[in-house]
Chains A and B, each alone.
Chain A
C-alpha cells in the first residue's frame, strides 16, 4: 500500500471517530433521537475489511452499529448524518434512523436491530449473486452476541451446504450488550463455532488495520473464488457503551484502559509516523480538516435539511407504483369456480 493510501486510511478512521463523537454531541443536544450505537474503537475492522472488498459492487449488511460500515461502503456521510437527524435527505429518508441506514446505490443493504437477523439476509444476497453468476459477494458484519441466535446456526448450515459467496465478519468486542462473553457463551473463540458447519474460519487482531486488511483480503479471495463461505473473527473493543442508554458499569476501568492503549487510530498513526509517512503536525492538520469537514459540511447539511412531510406518513409502506394487473381493482362478475 502506498503512502497516499495509508494517509487516506488514517484520515478515514479519524473521520469515522469524529463522526461518531459528533453524533454523540448531537444526541446530547437532542437533535438525534432513539437509540444511538457508536463504533468508536472498532474502526479498523470495518475500514480494513471494506478497503479490501469491492465497495459498490459487493453487498454489505450489518447490525444496528452501522454508520461507519455504511459510509465506508460508499453511502455519503452527509446522508448518514441526515438520517440520524431524521431528515428527508437521509439515507433512509428519515424513516429508518441510526439503526437502519440503507443505500442500495452502493449495495449497502441495511442495518438491522434484530440481533442475528442479517445472517440469513446476507446469505440471501449471496444466493442472488451466485444465481446471477456475477463475481459479487455478500459481506455480513455482526458482533459476537449475534452468534447466540438460532439464525447464526441455521444460516451457517445453509451457506455451507449451498456454498454461498458470503463472508461473515464477527466483530468480537467481548460484550453482548452488557454481558461479558464468557458469562453468555460456552465457546468464547467465535471462529471455532463454525467448524460444526464445515466453514473455514480464523481469528485476528481487530485493532491493527494492517492485520485486518491482510486477513480480510485472503478471506475475500476465498469467497470470491467460489469456494463457499468464510468466517473471520476480529478481536476488538468498543470504547463507548452499547448505546447511549448504557451505564457501562459492567466493565472494569482497568480493562477499558488496556484497550484504549490499543486504539486502532493510535496504532496506525504511530506506525505511519515511525515509517516517516507523516508527522505529528500532519496528523494534527488531518484532525483539523476532519473537524472542519464534519462541522461545516456533514452536520451543516443534516441541520439545514428539511423534515419529511407529515402528508407522506404512509408513503413507502407498499409499492405505490404497482401495476393494476397485479393488485386490482377486481372486476365483479368475472369470477369462475
Chain B
C-alpha cells in the first residue's frame, strides 16, 4: 500500500488499462507529447506511442465524437477534456450521441467511452474555468457520472469505467490533483455505483461528493471537538444515485446537510433532498439544509471568489443550525 497523489492514481489506471487491452486509447488536448495539463498521462506517450495517446486539436465536440465512433467499433477511448467548462462544447456528441445510442439502437450498439474532466474552482481561474456542471450530466439518462474524492477512487473508478460498457463521465477537481492517499499495490477496481460512509456518526449526516466530501470531513472534525457525532457520506456516483445508503444513514441520524460546490438551483442538493423526501421523509427531525455556491458566475477577485464558494465553516454552520445549536 503506497501513498500516491490523485494525478498519479489516474496515470497508473491509464497505464494498467492501456497495457491490459490494446483497444484502450487516450485522447485529448496536450495529453501526449506535453504530458497532460495535470500530468495524468505523463510518460504514456513515450510508452504507448502516438497512435494510442492521441494529441487532439482544440475541437472538443468532434474529438469526443471521434472517441464515441471508435467505441462503437470496439475501442475503449479515455477522453480527457481539459476543463469541464470546455465539455459544454462536447455536449452534442456526449448527450445527443453517447448517452442515447445504446437506447435508440435497441441495445444493439454500445458506446463504452470514458470522459475525464476536472470540474471545480481552483485558484482565481474566473468564470470560464470554474464551472462545476455535475448537475447537468447527472440529469442525463444513458450516462454514468462518478466523482472520485481521492486517489483510491480516482484509480479504481477509472479502471472500472474503462471496462464498463456504458459511457462514463468522471468528474475530477482542479484542487485535488495533488491530494495524496493510499492505493493498494495490487490491481484494484472500485465500483461505479454506491455511496460510501466515509466516517461513521450518529447525530447528523453530512453528504458530499468530489471535493465537498473534504469540507464535510473537516466540519465533522470540528463537530467532534464540540462533542457532536457526524456521519459523512460520499455520494461517489451522481448517476445512478445510491438511494439505499442515503436512506439508511438518514434513518439513523435523522438530520442532514448536503454540501455542494455548485450553485443550488436544479442541483445535486435538490436532487438528494428529493430522494430523502421520497425514501424517508418521516425519519427527518429537522429540515435539511444545502450548502452551496453563490448564485453568480465565479468571480476572479480572491476575496469574491472565496465568498462565492462554500468552505468547511459553512458546512459546520449549517450542521449546527440543523442540530439546533444556533
Report which A residues bind B (CB closer than 8 A). 59, 61, 90-96, 100, 102-104, 109-110, 112-114, 117, 119-129, 131-132, 138, 150-151, 154-155, 157-158, 161-162, 315-319, 321-330, 332-333, 335-337
Distance in angstroms from B303 CB to nearest chain A CB is: 32
Q: For A94, list chain B residues within 8 Å (CB).
A: 106
Task: Check if B209 is an interface residue, CB within 8 A of chain A.
Answer: no
Q: For B64, list chain A residues within 8 Å (CB).
A: 120
**What are 11 residue pairs bridging A and B, where the CB atoms are less than 8 Å apart in the complex?**
A100-B104, A100-B105, A110-B101, A110-B104, A120-B64, A123-B65, A124-B71, A125-B69, A157-B59, A158-B57, A336-B1
Is the Cβ of B69 less than 8 Å from the Cβ of A128? yes
Task: Check if B152 is an interface residue, CB within 8 A of chain A.
Answer: yes
Is the Cβ of B102 less than 8 Å from the Cβ of A316? yes
Which of A120, A131, A154, A162 has the most chain B CB within a 10 Å cutoff? A120
CA distance A102 to B109 in the complex (A): 8
Is the Cβ of B152 less than 8 Å from the Cβ of A155? no
4 nearest A-B residue pairs (beta carbon): A124-B69, A120-B65, A337-B181, A93-B106
CA distance A103 to B108 in the complex (A): 7
CA distance A151 to B103 in the complex (A): 23
Beyond A102-B105, A124-B65, is A327–B57 a contact (Cβ under 8 Å)? no
CA distance A316 to B105 in the complex (A): 8
Q: Which residue of A lies closest to B193 (CB)?
A: A328
Beyond A114-B96, A120-B61, A332-B197, is A128–B103 a contact (Cβ under 8 Å)? no
CA distance A160 to B63 in the complex (A): 13
CA distance A150 to B122 in the complex (A): 31
Beyond A120-B93, A324-B191, is A317–B181 a contact (Cβ under 8 Å)? no
Contact mask B237-251 → A, CB, 8 Å, 1/0? 000001001000000
CA distance A112 to B109 in the complex (A): 13
Q: For A121, list chain B residues within 8 Å (CB).
A: 65-66, 68-69, 72, 93, 97
Is the Cβ of B193 less than 8 Å from the Cβ of A330? yes
Beyond A123-B66, A325-B191, is A104–B71 a contact (Cβ under 8 Å)? no
Contact mask B36-78 → A, CB, 8 Å, 1/0? 0000000000000001001011010111111111111111000
Binds A, one of B158-166, B263-271, B272-280: B158-166
Q: Which of A117, A150, A161, A326 contacts B189 (CB 8 A)?
A: A326
Q: For A327, list chain B residues within 8 Å (CB).
A: 160, 164, 191-193
Distance in angstroms from A80 CB to nearest chain B CB is: 13
Beyond A96-B105, A114-B97, A124-B67, is A319–B164 a contact (Cβ under 8 Å)? yes
Which of B63, B105, B183 has the most chain A CB within a 10 Å cutoff? B105
Is the Cβ of A337 less than 8 Å from the Cβ of B183? yes
Is the Cβ of B68 less than 8 Å from the Cβ of A317? no
Secondary structure of the B contact surface, majority rule? mixed
Is the Cβ of A154 less than 8 Å from the Cβ of B69? no
Is the Cβ of A322 less than 8 Å from the Cβ of B65? no
Is the Cβ of A117 less than 8 Å from the Cβ of B103? no
Q: For B195, list chain A residues within 8 Å (CB).
A: 330
Q: Which residue of A lies closest to B71 (CB)?
A: A124
Distance in angstroms from B22 CB to nearest chain A CB is: 8
Is the Cβ of A127 less than 8 Å from the Cβ of B104? no
Q: For A61, list chain B residues within 8 Å (CB).
A: 69
Given contacts A103-B108, A104-B108, A318-B142, 19 further A-B contacts (CB under 8 A): A61-B69, A94-B106, A100-B104, A109-B73, A114-B96, A119-B65, A121-B66, A123-B69, A127-B70, A128-B74, A154-B61, A322-B165, A322-B166, A324-B191, A325-B160, A325-B189, A326-B191, A329-B193, A336-B181
CA distance A94 to B105 in the complex (A): 9
Task: Check if B141 is an interface residue, CB within 8 A of chain A.
Answer: yes
Report which B residues bind A (CB closer than 8 A). 1, 3, 23, 25, 51, 54, 56-57, 59, 61-75, 92-93, 96-97, 101-110, 141-142, 144, 150-152, 160-161, 163-166, 180-184, 189-198, 236, 242, 245
Q: Which of B51, B57, B141, B151 contacts A317 (CB 8 A)?
A: B141
Distance in angstroms from A199 CB to nearest chain B CB is: 15
Q: For A126, list chain B residues within 8 Å (CB).
A: 69
Q: Which residue of B lies closest to A333 (CB)?
A: B197
Distance in angstroms from B204 CB to nearest chain A CB is: 19
Beyond A120-B68, A319-B164, A323-B163, is A93–B107 a contact (Cβ under 8 Å)? yes
Q: For B165, list chain A residues within 8 Å (CB).
A: 319, 321-322
Beyond A319-B165, A325-B160, is A337–B70 a contact (Cβ under 8 Å)? no
CA distance A125 to B68 in the complex (A): 8
Q: Which of A59, A91, A158, A324 contacts B59 (CB 8 A)?
A: A158
Is the Cβ of B194 less than 8 Å from the Cβ of A330? yes
Is the Cβ of A326 less than 8 Å from the Cβ of B106? no
Which of A161, A317, A321 has the most chain B CB within a 10 Å cutoff? A317
Is the Cβ of B196 less than 8 Å from the Cβ of A92? no
Q: For B152, list chain A residues within 8 Å (CB).
A: 335-337
Q: For B141, list chain A residues within 8 Å (CB).
A: 317
CA distance A324 to B239 in the complex (A): 16
Is the Cβ of A119 less than 8 Å from the Cβ of B109? no
CA distance A96 to B107 in the complex (A): 10
Q: For B96, list chain A residues within 8 Å (CB).
A: 113-114, 117
Q: Which of A110, A131, A315 contacts B25 (CB 8 A)?
A: A131
Q: For A129, list chain B residues within 8 Å (CB).
A: 73
Beyond A93-B106, A158-B59, A326-B191, is A336–B184 a contact (Cβ under 8 Å)? yes
Q: For B62, list chain A residues within 8 Å (CB).
A: 119-120, 123, 150-151, 154-155, 158
Q: For A96, list chain B residues within 8 Å (CB).
A: 104-106
